[in-house]
Structure 1
Amino acid sequence: MEHKVENLTFKKNDVEKLLLNLDLNPYSQKNKDFRYCLSLIYELIEEEFEETFDTKNPLLRNTDIEFTTSGSDVEIFISPPYAFDFYLKSRGSLYKLKNSYKGDKLGYSIPLDLFFDYFTGLDENIDLKETTENYRFFFTLTQFVKKTVEKLNFIPTVQCRKETFSVIWEPYFKNKDYLSAYQEIVQNDFLDLETSKKLVDRYLNHLIFTFLNVKSNRFKDLKSAAFFAKNTSHKRAFKGSDLAIDIQTWLDEMSLGAYEIVPVFDITKCDNDTGDKFLMKILAKNKTSGEVKELDALSDFEKTIVEKQLSWATKYIEDLEDVTLELDLAGVYKIVTQISYYLSQAGMEVKLPSDFDNVIIPRASINARVKQKRLGEAQEALDFTNNSIISLDEIMDFSIEIALGDGERLTPQEFQEITKDIDKTGGGLIKYKDRYILVDKDETEKLLKQLESKPNLKMNKIKLLHSALSGKIDEYDFDYDEAFAKIISDFTKVEDIELPENLHGELRAYQKIGYKWLYTNVQKGFGCCIADDMGLGKTIQVISLILKLKAEKKLKAPVLIVCPTTLMGNWERELENFSPSLSVLKYHGLQRELCKDVLSHDVILTTYAVLRIDKEEFKKHNWTLMVIDEAQNIKNPGTSQTQAIKAVKADMRIAMTGTPVENRLSELWSIFDFINKGYLGSISDFGKNYAVPIERFKDSARIDKLKLAIAPFMLRRLKTDKTIISDLPDKLVMDEFCYLSKPQAALYERVLNQSMGDISSAKASINRRGAIFKLITALKQVCNHPYHYLKHGDMSQHASGKTQKLISILQNILANDEKVLIFTQYKQMGEILEKIIYNEFSQNPLFFHGSLNIKAREELISRFVNDVREKIMVLSLKAGGLGLNLTTASNVIHYDLWWNPAVEDQATDRTYRIGQDKNVMVHRLITLATFEEKIDKIIKSKRELADTAVFAGEKNIADMTDEEIYEIFSLA
């Protein structure tokens, strides 16, 4: 009676979106910190949960586990008790369990929480062969609950009693794959459905509350945290209100944006001469089908969903009882400026008349000219050898006008004329020529005061540079003459410097430009962000800079490089290949130590996770240069990881990323806050000056100003740029290195040791060959993904270093709206990749394999070639290696490598052939410290014999001694 769950893989819950519409606190708890506490809980679990329960508990071999139900609770009986006794003693447990008989079986009943603790500490890749069916079922249930927590697929809810209540945690079923896995778990042959559900709920709460108890010192507002971080009861009555209902009403806001049916606020202009009357009609839209309906046409269930959302929207728009509302310009103005943003963030839609596509926001503008006799002083103003305070009015003449965003200017008198009725109307939208100007009474008064008053023109030099590049001084636009423009142009020129002599490699023309650009910025004391497209070689440009700094004796302290774990191997190899003269220390792993002679190394290489954990150690040093790769890892300013990165002291800073902005402009601010702190102002200043006007109002003028402001410090080249295409080879092959995950490494060792026993004991030659080839296949599968070998357990990307690397590459490819082919030798691995890719990107990749008939194959090819939405195709190498023309893809990923490079080349040629008008990027995934790396070196050293190097060369693997075989396959 085996209970198997096909797939424990599901997408991580987007907590940021979940908390987006949540007020800071419930209505009756205004002075508390509820949302922050909730956010911190999710953040702590995301970053630290996995390592907390890694206790490696022993297997209970030949131990029977029986489940019995008592009401809605589950009781656990273990027999015989000896193995569990040994486990308790090994943990120093004080539990005294009394032996009893159940039928003729000697054992004891154990508390459920103790049972949870034992199973939580089991290695997810442990061999379960000598265990019972009940044991294996509970092991699978444990893995599911742990993945529920790790992937943040849970939300808080209120559990009410007569006079008290508790806040507990429950599974969150928005993700269909998660719901499917949940249903497979609770529908089993061991417990009835309701008991299974309650068991999952109890286990989930046990894990979360146990974890939060360990992290209790991380909460500043203990009173707010007490509601979520402790499983305690609270009184419902609170100052005349029901606190339980108040908190649940607040928590219901987390579901906004998750509904299939959403309200649409459709605003149309009435047919009147003045153009100042509007109608707003409330409709409902199905997000999947796109169908829009009148509210009367909805089913009762759909109406309930829409009414719940409209009830929340009344915080922003009153009188929503009426389906149709009349609005004047002031009403539309309020929706445009204050309301539409919040409605759209909650998943609702606001449709405005086409006239509002380009609403003008007036601004005060400073027009400046360099005084004739002060040109030299203006040039000195951008000498950054010091950041002294300067007074612009001493070197420039100024006038102040009103700018309308498109070059048109109004004098103070003209602006006063068009806003003369502002006292009566309170502001709103004013018809001006054939457009609308957005005005507000308070803002207009502020503008008029700006026109009359003198702006503060004393500032430090970094603020002057931002003002000059962005065209903005505080609340004023900043326009200047050609003389000052030339000074700015000269300042931003890139120095022409030689490449370092000890660079082992050739830079392409665009890479030389990038190297010189990096050098110019750091020499002037500025941090910078190199944001080249994936595959354009950001790493070698940064390595060239490090070599140059060392050659010029400017490395007074080491360079600190921080990257995701998936890129650690790539950095090691590229530093080794391009700069063997650099002394590199890898700071990673359980035995890591920043030794006393850390200053004797040129480069310290570590990961984001390690730096976050050991931040105090890193803060002890002042680094010459700090480089962060995949800088989108600090996109959220408030996370502990971002704060740890920014707390490290460094003379120079470089950020590397292929996706500087993924969702919000605040991500760009966070990167600039790292490279040039203060340059874009505070996060609130940035929101007011850029993020809100751009994200909410699509303000093209602000977009242009932001581009100008960041241009000197952010370099982004795309593969599609004409100057880049001409400089790239038609086919660029990149080895992508990764490490085994911890569970993978343990499984690899176990499989190798078991197989070596079989090889050593095989007497007949044919049996020995069979055992060797069985080992090769098994280790290939382990390197691919533990699930590929085990056929059960965790199918997520995190279980395999190779799938983590794959997802990282795919993120960049999809961000550039490109297509990709992924080749694997194994159909089952293709099926695993299908599920992992869907869970990460919410899109089903096409899967081309040998079991498809001709018609199905042709349909898949046609969809991939002709449908712009189809970005990813997975192919089994034998089925997809020959006879296909898939030149719409410009990226190829070899997930697992054949040892015959001719077969690999044939697969690559599906994209790299006649008709391909793009450069093809080929990624070969190789697992470091395993036989994959060793075999790859053999292939590269004897490429002309590559097809025989393994199976038919001078010395076949099958003819090697046991010691030689172990040497090739053992972990380095």
Structure 2
Amino acid sequence: MSNHKQKLITVLLPDGRLQLERESADKGINKSTSLLQQEIFTAYNEQKDRTASLFWLLRLGFSDQNISLSPSLDFWRRFSALFIHHLRLTPELEELREKVSVPLATEEINKLMETIPALTGGEYLSPGLLASFWSELNDAFVQSVSDYSGTVADFFHSFSPDSQLLGRIYFHLVENKNSDLPFAFLATYATRMGTEGESRHLPLKYALQEYQNDNAKLLNLLSTVHRAARESELITDLLESNDLFSPLAWTAGEAHTFLQEVPLYEDAGILCRIPDWWRTKGSGVSVKISLGDRTPAMVGITALLDFTPRLMLGDEELTPEEIKQLLDQVEGLAFIKNKWVSVDQERLQQTLAAYEEAEKLAENEGITLAEAMRLQLHPETMLAGQADNGIVEVENGEWLQTVFSKMINPGQLPKTATDKHFLADLRPYQQDGLSWLCELNKLGFGACLADDMGLGKTVQILAFLNILSQTQRSTGKKEKTSYKTASLLIIPASLLSNWDQEIKKFSPNLKVFLAHPDMHRPRRVKTPTESELDELDLVITTYALSHRYIWLLEYTWQYVILDEAQAIKNPGTRQSKAVKTIPARNRIAMTGTPVENRLSDLWSLFDFVNPGLLGTAAEFSTFSKALAERLDGYGRLRRMTAPFILRRLKSDKSIISDLPDKVEMKTWATLSKKQAVIYQQLVDRINDTLEDTDGIQRKGMILAALTKFKQICNHPDQYAGVDGYTAKESGKFSRLQEICETIHEKREQVLVFTQFKEMTAPLARFLETVFQRPGLILHGSVAVGKRKKIIEQFQQDDYIPFMVLSLKAGGVGLNLTRANHVIHFDRWWNPAVENQATDRAFRIGQKKKVMVHKFVTKGTIEEKIDAMLTQKQQLSNDVVAASGESWLTEMNNDELADLFSLNI
């Protein structure tokens, strides 16, 4: 794809490194953007040591802010530009060039955090990480300028001709409240006058004395002032009258002119020290709206909240009459409520109009919670377009803030106990998740459970369903209500076996109906009656069938729950639309992928979970487009959605303490139709010949059959010996894709083990389509010398998402700690061998929690042997470890027939 059709994006990797990637653009890229992208990408690729040098990011900060870039790249441009701004204002930078240390702009960094756009890896971003990037930018500058033969000013000009370094001149403006002239101005200059040669500031008039015999030095000192005078009539007058060299008392009008021109002076290289209220713009009049101070009569998205608008000047409340008095004054500064305020006629008119519109809304009984959320997100849509320019601030009232605070911090919620029928011991963070789900249920809100893969979303949902079952059955039957108890779970077909197994393991008391033909014999789903549904706790079906079974749409469910909810991220698909029309009292979405990487995905998810919360698709699209101008909107969006999203990361310190170093899980796959047919044909042939063989021949036939069964479970083409490997023909390929799509979303790395060398290449080709970049292959035929290079390549700083290894080749002498996922695609049925392979990732040097996924194909020999090993741990540890698979050959014919049979 040509560069003018691609945009450059930044991705933050889990270990805190920044990565540049190209992806297709919605529309063509203009020439200036294309050239800048290419320049930055070239600088990125040319870095010799990306962990120690961020020269490409430093270069990005110098670029023209008016050139359009992707939101993620623009964020890092703004961050780097902030560093360069403070670097440029560093006094005597030329003298300090190789030992400069730019102080961290903590307050500005915190504000920058509010503007983080939707970007891959944004969940890892924190003020602490930005502080480390700030330090790396400092190192990149020192490293670059030490290799540069010219001056620092020349270095700056080579990237940005208009950029000026800070000179030695400073402008000061302070309040002078006891005077008729309420402001005082003074120009100073820095000179080495201290006893130890440190920099001191003196009034500028002393420079006339110091350089009275050296006009060249005086002109050099005043060069920044002359640059400013080219653009400023005020500075020109001060120079021509020599008033610049004396302390001055100013009127409010003169001070206002000066304050408006501060950016011009700083661009010229003059540092301005001015009142904080102007820097923070705290002098502006705004409309502050408080929502939900009192407990509403009912809860949920349709709850009516009280609504109180006020006109504010900082912390002081103003009346409409006081605003009108300000409108009668001329433009400039006015002193009111012991504060200086900028009199901007147009802004004041907008503020007053927004207040009057808000007053009209307040005259009603209140607004719904959904309307309140939309008001926070884009107030201009509800206040007749009068809320732009940041003049409206919406805050949660006492009741609403208390509710949201608990939802954002579920550890504050009272613990919810499960009954004796729930058989899992919840980890502390899982207990918090259960309490959070119950609190949202009580309040009538939908929820998005977005915990990292491997943290146990399924068990938390089963615990919640257990609570619903015990509560609703006791109250519903006792009071003979018509309350529905059945919930509907919609999942990808590949997860049917996973949920079936988890329910049997943790919540066998739940009354469950599997609405999928593969789970019935004959392959037909009988339509349940309404009364039959009322007696159930849970119905499980798939996305593909959710809009085919009409009875699903005719029943009002207690909950509709989506697993792998990213399946509805595209709101325009038939599948997404159908799922959202299923009647339900409430809804839950489950996903292991970040939910904020793309704004359109987030809207579609919330359109299911809490319809109307983010407005219509058109309203949200308008809001998204406006984010380029109103960067604070990203922060508003996060604050608004945070109470309804629970996402815990494996990297969270509070979670790490709850997790073992290795989290091992069985991943269940279902045979495709083609696999099932071939598998059954093989079973029939073996059963026909088993009676007629014995001795060595019998053992050989059994071991050969084991291999063939494994091949069929992997992919029919492996068994047939052909090189097609269509993904949909293998249940394992489908599960592998789903797991790796989540790994890719988080830019984590994975090791995929197979015992078959011939499977390594097909798996690698398939994974390349999932990760959209190549990985590595290692098997027994790879030369020893090349193996070391492959391992080093995987462990280096370039992001390589996966490595496919044959089990024996991957079992010895490898250290692959970059990966934090291990997938055993097919099973060796020898725990010692599998654990040895797993420990290629989990060993000394691994700082991440390792997730181990062991694939098991439902209803096949894989499931049966896995169950045998699980139930007979001593057999697993002793017999299997010593003999491999040969112990299976000692079974009698009836045991083998049962072992080989297909039970689906």
* TM bucket, shorter chain: 0.5 to 0.7
1:809/1:354 CA distance change after superposition, 3 Å: same
**Residue number in structure 1 paired with 2:53:** none
Cα offset, 1:852, TM superposition: 1.4
Q: Which amino acid aligns with 2:752?
A: I
> For the structure 1 residues 943 and 366, does the alpha-carbon distance in structure 2 shift closer, same or farther, using more than 3 Å as the test?
same
User: Which residue of the other structure, out of 445, 464, 467, is the alignment partner of 1:526?
Assistant: 445
The equivalent of 2:569 in structure 1 is 635
2:625 to 668, 692, 706: 692
Q: CA deviation at 1:624?
A: 1.1
Q: 1:832 aligns with which of 749, 753, 762?
A: 762
The one-letter code sitting in structure 1 at the alignment partner of 2:897 is Y
Q: How does 1:791-940 map to 2 (within 5 A)?
A: 791-792=721-722, 794-940=724-870
Q: Which amino acid aligns with 1:533?
A: D
Cα distance in 2, alignment partners of residues 868 and 398 from structure 1: 54
Q: 2:580 aligns with which of 636, 646, 669?
A: 646
Question: What RMSD, in angstroms, separates the aligned Cα atoms of the two structures?
Answer: 4.4
Compute the displacement of 1:936 (Å): 0.3
In the TM superposition, residue 761 of structure 1 has moved relative to its aligned partner by 4.5
Read off the aligned partner of 1:381 and give its amino acid letter: P
Q: 1:501 to 1:751 in 2, by over 3 A?
A: same
Residue in structure 2 matched with residue 399 of structure 1 by the alignment: 311
**For the structure 1 residues 949 and 523, does the alpha-carbon distance in structure 2 shift closer, same or farther, using more than 3 Å as the test?**
same
Shifted more, 411-420 versus 768-777: the winner is: 411-420
Matching residue of 1:201 = none
Distance in 1, matches of 2:885 and 2:809, equals: 31
Does structure 1 residue 592 correspond to structure 2 residue 592? no
Q: 2:659 aligns with which of 728, 735, 748?
A: 728
Q: 1:766 Cα deviation (Å)? A: 2.4
Partners of 1:807 and 1:385 in 2: how far apart? 37
Give, in angstroms, the shift of residue 446 of structure 1. 6.8
2:560 paired residue number: 626
* Identity between Structure 1 and Structure 2 (%): 33
Q: Which residue of 1 aligns with 2:368?
A: 461
Report SS of the residue matched to 1:782. helix
CA–CA distance in structure 1, aligned partners of residues 902 and 40 of structure 2: 50
TM alignment of 1:190-205, pairs within 5 A: none
Q: Which residue of 2 aligns with 1:679?
A: 613
Determine helix, strand or coil for the equivalent of 1:688: helix
Are the equivalent residues in 1 in contact too, given 2:374–2:615 (CA < 8 A)? no
Q: Which runs of 5+ in 2 are unaligned?
A: 8-22, 46-63, 86-111, 116-279, 316-321, 333-343, 474-482, 518-522
Secondary structure of the corresponding residue to residue 896 of structure 1: coil
Change (3 A) 1:256 1:890: closer
TM-aligned CA distance change 1:284 to 1:818, over 3 Å = closer
How far does residue 879 in structure 1 lie from its aligned partner after superposition? Answer: 0.8
2:300 and 2:504 map into 1 onto residues whose CA distance is 35
Shift of 1:593: 2.4
Aligned to 2:495: 567
Residue by residue, what CA displacement relative to the aligned partner does 1:263-297 show, whole Å, maximum 9, x if unpaired? Answer: 5325xxxxxxxxxxxxxx978959997899xxxxx
The aligned residue for residue 296 of structure 2 is 381
Contact kept, 8 Å, 1:900 with 1:948, in 2: the verdict is no
What letter matches 2:748 in structure 1? E
The residue aligned with 1:264 is 31
Secondary structure of 1:501's aligned partner: coil
Q: Find the partner of 1:610 among 521, 545, 549.
A: 545
Partner of 1:550: 469
Partner of 1:741: 672
SS at the partner of 2:808? helix
Offset from partner CA, 1:396-442 (integer Å, 9 cap, x none): 35117899xxxxxx98999999999xxxxxxxxxxxxxxxxxx9x9x
CA distance 1:486–1:635, shift in 2 (3 Å) = closer
Q: Shift in Å at residue 912 of structure 1?
A: 2.2
AA aligned to 1:780 is: K
Q: 1:632 to 1:964 in 2, by over 3 A?
A: same
Residue 822 of structure 1 aligns to a residue whose secondary structure is strand
Aligned to 1:657: 591
Query: CA, structure 1 residues 361+602, in 2 after alignment: closer, same or farther (shift >3 Å)?
Result: farther
Contact kept? 1:382, 1:461, Cα under 8 Å: no
Tell me the SS of whatever aligns to 1:604: strand
| Cα distance, 1:881 vs structure 2 | 0.8
SS in 1 for 2:829: coil
1 CA distance for matches of 2:699 and 2:622?
70
After superposition, the Cα gap between the structure-2 partners of 1:833 and 1:508, relative to the gap in structure 1 and judged at 3 Å, is same
Would you say the 8 A contact 1:830–1:875 is kept in 2? yes
* Correspondence for 1:367: 288
Q: Does the C-alpha gap of structure 1 residues 416 and 701 become closer, same or farther in structure 2, counting only changes over 3 Å?
A: farther
Secondary structure of 1:922's counterpart equals strand
The Cα of 1:702 is off from its aligned counterpart by 1.0
* Alpha-carbon separation, structure 2, partners of 1:418 and 1:906: 79
Which piece of structure 1 moves more, 549-558 or 524-533? 549-558
Other-structure match for 1:450 = 354
3-state SS of paired residue (2:782): coil
Aligned equivalents of 1:545, 1:469: Cα separation in 2 = 31
Q: 1:776 offset after TM fit, Å?
A: 0.9
Residues 791 and 706 (structure 1), Cα distance of their counterparts in 2 relative to 1, 3 Å cut: same
Separation (CA, whole Å) in 1 of partners of 2:286 and 2:36: 42
Cα distance, 1:388 vs structure 2: 5.7
Larger Rg: 2
What count of residue pairs does the alignment treat as equivalent? Answer: 623
User: Is 1:964 matched up with 2:892?
Assistant: no
Say whether the 8 Å CA contact 1:263–1:285 is kept in structure 2.
Answer: no
Asked if the contact 1:736/1:924 (under 8 Å) is kept, the reply is: yes
Moved more, 501-510 or 450-459: 450-459
Equivalent-residue separation in structure 2 for 1:870 and 1:417 (angstroms): 64
Amino acid aligned to 1:530: L
Alpha-carbon distance change, 862 to 446 in structure 1, aligned in 2, over 3 angstroms: same
Distance 1:594 1:860, change over 3 A: same
Which residue of the partner structure matches residue 180 of structure 1?
Answer: none
C-alpha distance in 1 between matches for 2:313 and 2:564: 43
